[in-house]
A and B are shown apart, each in its own frame.
Chain A
Amino acid sequence: MSDQESTAGVNGGRRAFLGCLGGAVAATASALLPDPGRAALPASPAAPAGDAAGKHQWAFGVDATKCIGCLRCVEACKAENEVALDAHHFRTWVERYVYVEGVDEPRIDSQSDPVNIAASGSEQHYRFANRYQEEKVEKAFFVPKLCNHCTHPACVQVCPTGATFKTADGVVLIDHTYCIGCQYCVQACPYGARFFDVENRVTEKCTWCYHRITRGLLPACVEVCPVGARVFGDRNDKQSPISRFLAENRVEVLKPETGNAPNVFYVGIDKDVR
């Protein structure tokens, strides 16, 4: 399957003229022409990805000391994976932990918090509200969250049909044509990473942008993060960003007591991070 990309001359004036005449015709015609000088989209992998057994061992890292809570990752993921545009279905999200002076427990908020929804103006854009300015804040930080693609995924264990599964290269995926939508996996995930897609009536979750990583690209959230809070790579490659991240940092995982053995490694989280 080759990737057909539309093309046009660089000259805007000529384009406008063509556009006036019959943009649709031009676009169709130009869609069939090869694309001179444009960086080519890597082709989809020729062999079925299952043959990649042992070739890659994907893993993800999060440096919560760097995250600025800009939520570009959340919006990028929604754009890249066509996730429902509301504040209740996320493949990835960011939590803010704020420790106010004199209170032991942190105040935690995320994208489904009504105050944050109001700050962004709609459920289709995501921002953290500028809160707590009047309070004496001792400590505050952001923690990005996503599916942990566990080594012993509880969600895969409970799926009755085999619609969700772990690939040989370490990614937990969902077969949307096979899922019956019972949502048992949604219940089983201790991290709240899964959700029900009401439009397609199957469950969904982060796939580490499998369609990108199999082309040598980065997941969308990693691609757009401006501060490098998200790290992705192949653990089989000792020079990959994730291998270096793991070698150079003291890392931890979320809820290790579940025995799921997550593959998203965190640096800079706190005892109260859920």
Chain B
Amino acid sequence: MHPDFTAAPYIGYVYPNETVFPWGVLIVVYPYLTGLVAGAFTVSSLYQVFGLERLRPVAHFALLTSLCCMIFVPTPLLLHLGHPERAFNAVFTPHWTSAMAMFGYFAGFYVLLLMVETWFVFRPHIVHEAQQRAGPLGWFYRLLSLGSYDLSAEALRIDAKWILTLAIIGIPAAHGLHGYVGFLFGSLKSREWWSSDLMPVIFLFSAIISGVSLLTVLYVLSCRLRRIPVDADCVKGLGYTVWGFLMFTLLLEGVEFGSLVYKGREGIDMILLFVRTRLIIPFFVLQIGVGAVTPILILSYLFWRGTAGRKLVAGVTLSALLILLNVIMMRFNVVIGGQEISKTGVGLLSYPWVFLGKEGVFAAASVLVAPMLLLLMMVRLFPPWHESEPPRAL
């Protein structure tokens, strides 16, 4: 076997070139990351734009989380590309018919937007540190301050306007950033498993639930680490958000799968065989059973009972963890599952798991862990916690 590729075993008939999987776990991780970005930003916007005061404790933390994930979003792509040094070809000469060409612009625009909004949000802190800190850290803050220490009421008012504007623009931007990924899959004619008009919407809604869930878990974790009580009301807000979006996501996924089966186009026999055999654990058990139905039941029960306090926090956090599993399984079942079903319609391949190397599981896992490490650093540089501050007058 050539060391640079692993051929996949198969049953039935597949085209000879299909025996090498083009996209692996890195391409599973990539939409997961952009989903976290979009979801975390949604939480931030729910506070900034829609005025959900409940979410105040996590609003700025959500922004930082979104930014940290966004910074690492290109990483799995660069690792996957045959020529990462040519990556900017897609930005310099974007082929506008390609959804992937959109990536350069959506991502570029969005990362700028995030950086600018974060800058505006943390400006008071930046200015404060710029004036106080010495050493290289001090230089860092002074650079960020752009040489202006203006924290007058007028300046802050204008800042708030910018924040609001960016938050509003950021909503469609974030949704475009992640929605195009769904379109990337859904627009292809070659794979029946991917080809669906609902794909962008499904990706988007599952992105939102993943981001909100991540925030829930990280918020509770951060409270534990900071040894302060968890704001149960905030967690309740997060819980409501994720509950609503999760039910709709499940509906969408059900409709999509149902209409695929109902239409029963050519190749459906192999798809059904795939679903009945290979997908039992990854799809029915993990994604739907454990990852969707269980959290819905837990959350429904919690809200119906009016649970509060520690029990609520525990329940919502557990649901959040399960939803994180749901979304990674969804990405996996779409990306890998789609490639396991042969384009011939009469073959099934088996994804050859690779652990080492740049396309391996360890690399993909590192890409998921890295934003968390960055976040650890970022919350020290830009503390997003509001407990000591008075509520915003809005």
Q: Direct contact between A and B in the complex (CB less than 8 angstroms)?
A: yes
A241 at the interface (CB under 8 A from B): no
Q: Which residues of A contact B87 (CB under 8 A)?
A: 180
**Could you tell me if A178 and B17 are in contact, using CB atoms closer than 8 angstroms?**
no
In the complex, which residue of chain A has the Cβ closest to the Cβ of B265?
A257
Query: How far does the alpha carbon of A187 sit from the alpha carbon of B82 in the complex, in Å?
Result: 15
Q: Number of contacting residues on A, CB 8 A?
A: 52
**Could you tell me if A183 and B23 are in contact, using CB atoms closer than 8 angstroms?**
yes
Please list the residues of chain A having a beta carbon within 8 angstroms of any beta carbon in chain B.
84, 86-90, 93, 95, 105, 108-112, 145, 154, 156-163, 178-184, 186-196, 198-203, 258-260, 274
Given contacts A187-B23, A198-B4, contact A180 B17 (CB under 8 A): no
Q: Number of contacting residues on B, CB 8 A?
A: 45
B300 at the interface (CB under 8 A from A): no
Query: How far does the alpha carbon of A195 sit from the alpha carbon of B81 in the complex, in Å?
Result: 14
Chain B binding site: helix, strand, loop or mixed by DSSP? loop
Interface string of B210-227 (1 = CB under 8 A from A): 000000000000000000
Given contacts A189-B190, A191-B15, contact A184 B82 (CB under 8 A): no
Query: How far does the alpha carbon of A200 sit from the alpha carbon of B5 in the complex, in Å?
Result: 13
23 A–B pairs (Cβ distance < 8 Å), ordered by A: A88-B16, A88-B17, A108-B346, A111-B16, A156-B97, A158-B97, A158-B99, A158-B188, A162-B95, A180-B84, A182-B100, A184-B184, A187-B22, A187-B23, A188-B190, A192-B15, A193-B17, A196-B5, A200-B82, A203-B82, A258-B189, A274-B15, A274-B344
**Could you tell me if B190 and A187 are in contact, using CB atoms closer than 8 angstroms?**
yes
A-B contact number at CB 8 A: 146
**Could you tell me if B346 and A105 are in contact, using CB atoms closer than 8 angstroms?**
yes
Pick the contact of B18: A154, A158, A192 (CB < 8 A).
Answer: A192
Q: Which residues of A contact B343 (CB under 8 A)?
A: 190-192, 274
Query: How far does the alpha carbon of A223 sit from the alpha carbon of B93 in the complex, in Å?
Result: 37
Q: Which residues of B contact A90 (CB under 8 A)?
A: 16-17
Given contacts A187-B191, A195-B17, contact A163 B89 (CB under 8 A): yes
B132 at the interface (CB under 8 A from A): no
Pick the contact of A161: B12, B20, B89, B184 (CB < 8 A).
Answer: B89
Q: Which residues of B contact A89 (CB under 8 A)?
A: 16-17, 20
Query: How far does the alpha carbon of A178 sit from the alpha carbon of B100 in the complex, in Å?
Result: 15
